[in-house]
Amino acid sequence: MRADVIDLRDFYASPLGESARRQIGRRVREMWPDTRGERVLGLGYAVPYLATFLGEADRVLAVMPPSQGVLRWPARGPNLAMLADETELPLPDQSIDRILLVHGLEGLEQTTAALREIWRVLTDSGRLLIVVPNRRGLWARLERSPFASGRPYSSGQLDALLRANLFTPGARAGALFMPPSRSTMTQSAGGVIERVGPRWAPGLAGVLLAEASKQIHALPLSREARRARLKAPQVALPGLRPGAVAAEHRRLGLEPGPRLVR
């Protein structure tokens, strides 16, 4: 189940959400310190982490899925957000340099189709950065957290999923070592907990950040080519009796290929 866009907006407007945005955003920026001249796309609900790239990257866009809903972003200036399915992105092949997937992977129904579509729109040197709930972390277990929606992942599961969909796993990081508590004291100590967490309890991060690059030795078919292959050619055989279709099919050497219609 995917979190609703209004719930996500309200969470990030809360003190707990702001603390989470700050801790995750710091890790995202550490992994992507320079995006000058690049095109950055946010998928899912990545807008809390995209603002840092505005004014630096050549272009920044946000795509939100219909099952989640879409909100205008940013609040000022031209709208950069659109509504589109992750399996049918309205973007040309190899048109994006960086894709940030947040509140997305855990709620996907067609994971393979979505990852192949991400592969399609990434440039050959492009990078995918996934932020996903950690199966072992507290944030995936408490309903007050939007990271409790959908399916959490372990590091090994992420690796297997990426490799199965033509990506090479790269850099890793963890964030949200602090518990998802509304306590002011806990949130004020968040910075300290985030600094010691990777050293003392690396497996207990609330979210995992996984970067991946494209495998380009195994090229999948483009979206148009996949659709073309699904449409088998039709061979009209007028006047054939239903019982004669199979025999005529074999005589013409069409079996098991094109579909016959009377």
209 near 129, Cβ under 8 Å? Answer: yes
Angle at 157 between CA 153 and CA 162, to 5 degrees: 110
Tokens read off for 50: 């995209």
What is the pLDDT, as a whole number, of residue 227? 57
Tokens read off for 30: 């550490």
How far apart (Å, rounded) are the C-alpha atoms in residues 47 and 8?
10
8-state DSSP, 134 = B
In the chain, count H helices and then E strands.
8, 9
Sketch the domain layout of the chain as residue ranges: 5-221, 232-261
How far apart (Å, rounded) are the C-alpha atoms in residues 13 and 211?
27
How far apart (Å, rounded) are the C-alpha atoms in residues 4 and 107?
11
End-to-end CA distance of the chain: 45
pLDDT digit string (tens) for 143-164?
778 999 889 999 999 999 999 9
What is the pLDDT, as a whole number, of residue 196? 73
8-state DSSP, 260 = E
What is the pLDDT, as a whole number, of residue 257? 44
What is the pLDDT, as a whole number, of residue 124? 94
CATH 3.40.190.10 holds for 5-221: no
Mark the ranges of the chain whose per-residue pLDDT is less than 70: 1, 183, 185-193, 197-198, 200-202, 217-262
What is the pLDDT, as a whole number, of residue 47? 97
pLDDT digit string (tens) for 89-148?
999 999 999 999 999 999 998 999 999 999 999 999 999 999 999 998 889 988 778 999
What is the pLDDT, as a whole number, of residue 35? 96
What is the pLDDT, as a whole number, of residue 122? 97
134 near 208, Cβ under 8 Å? Answer: yes
